[in-house]
Amino acid sequence: MRGTDKLFPPVAAAAELLAQHASTLKLRIQITDTLRTNAEQRALYAHSREPADKVNALRKAAGMPAVAPAEAAAWRTDASDATRSYHGYGLAFDWVLLDAQGRASYDTKADTNMDGQKDWYQVAGLTRFIPGLESGAYWSSKPDLPHCQMTFGLTPADLRAGHRPPGWKEWVLAARPPIDIQ
Ligand SMILES: [Zn+2]
């Protein structure tokens, strides 16, 4: 789902800061994906693993729009359900570069601000100015360029074992995000 209001507040603040830093380089981004339900995570996991009709059936069940076969065949995640992704806990978001017309651009070679650098990597590089924010662009295996997360020192196994960042449980009680983790 979209909306930084569904993220754990320190992560929402980091997402907003990333967009602000990008705008100082005359780059525009949009946050496309924040908190994920189990149904959403399962649909994304099916990408590249299941035929397009199965992917789209899972996407429909999760309330997500259908995709073309090429996108259904593209790898999206190695997390088979929401408990295995930082997205499931409101600790991760994905972003997309916007072109001059304000349309999403997945062209990772785009240079919309015409400074001779690839915009996608410029924005990913800005994460190092935001304490605690990690970009998936720098992962050695399966880099995930649109993905950013804040782990608070917790691995996915720690999260599955019930550990949470300080203030997380209070946030869930107060803000009641549409979270699917039991
Ligand atoms: Zn992500």
| Spans of the chain below 70 pLDDT | 182
Q: Residue 1: what pLDDT?
A: 82
* Ligand 1 midpoint to CA 87 (Å): 6
Q: What is the CATH number of domain 4-36+85-174?
A: 3.30.1380.10
* Ligand 1 midpoint to CA 77 (Å): 8
Q: Residue 181: what pLDDT?
A: 80
Q: Where are the alpha helices (DSSP H) in the chain?
A: 9-24, 38-46, 52-61, 69-72, 119-126, 156-160, 168-175
* Ligand 1 midpoint to CA 136 (Å): 8
* Ligand 1 midpoint to CA 91 (Å): 10
The closest of 95, 96, 100 to 111, measured between CA atoms, is 100
* Ligand 1 midpoint to CA 97 (Å): 14
Q: Residue 182: what pLDDT?
A: 65
Domain ranges of the chain: 4-36+85-174
* Ligand 1 midpoint to CA 112 (Å): 23
